Amino acid sequence: MKTFLILLIFTTSFAGCDDIKSDQELTILELEKQLQEIYAFIDKRDCSPGSECSFMPFGSKACGGPQGYLLFSSETDVPALHKMVEKHRKAEEAYNKQNRIISDCSIPAPPEKLACEDGKCIQIQ
C-alpha cells in the first residue's frame, strides 16, 4: 500500500510536466499496436473455397463512423474479434476527444462483394 501511495504521488506530481506530443505518440503507438494485433488475429485463419468471407467496421473517425472495414474468414473467432475491435474503437474514440482530432467526415462504403483469394478474403471491385 505504501509503495502504491508513493507511486501515485510521484505520478501525479509529474503528470503536468510531460510533453503533450510524447503522450500523443504513446497513444498513437498503442492504437497501432492494437490494430496490428487485430490484423494478426485475422491472419491466423485463412479462408478456403468452402468458407465464407465477411467484414466488420473498425476504428472511430473524429466525426463519427468507422475508419474502414476488416475482411475476415468465417473460420475466425468472431466474438473474440468483435471484442478486440470494440476495445480499439473505444480507445481511438477517447484519443480523438482527448487530442481534439479532426477528420474528413467521409463515410467509407462497406464492401459489396468479397472472395477468397490465396487464403485471404479480398474485396472484388
pLDDT (tens digit, 9 = 90+) per residue, 78-88? 999 999 999 99
pLDDT > 90? residue 12: no
Q: Residue 38 in contact with residue 85, Cβ under 8 Å? A: yes
Q: How far is CA 14 from CA 8, 27, 46, in A?
A: 10, 18, 47
CA nearest neighbour of 62 among 32, 29, 89: 89
* pLDDT for position 39: 97
pLDDT (tens digit, 9 = 90+) per residue, 87-112? 999 999 999 999 999 999 999 999 99
Extents of the domains making up the chain: 21-123
Q: How many residues does the chain have?
A: 125
Instruction: Describe the crossing of helices 78-98 and 20-43 by its angle, rounded to 10 degrees.
Output: 160
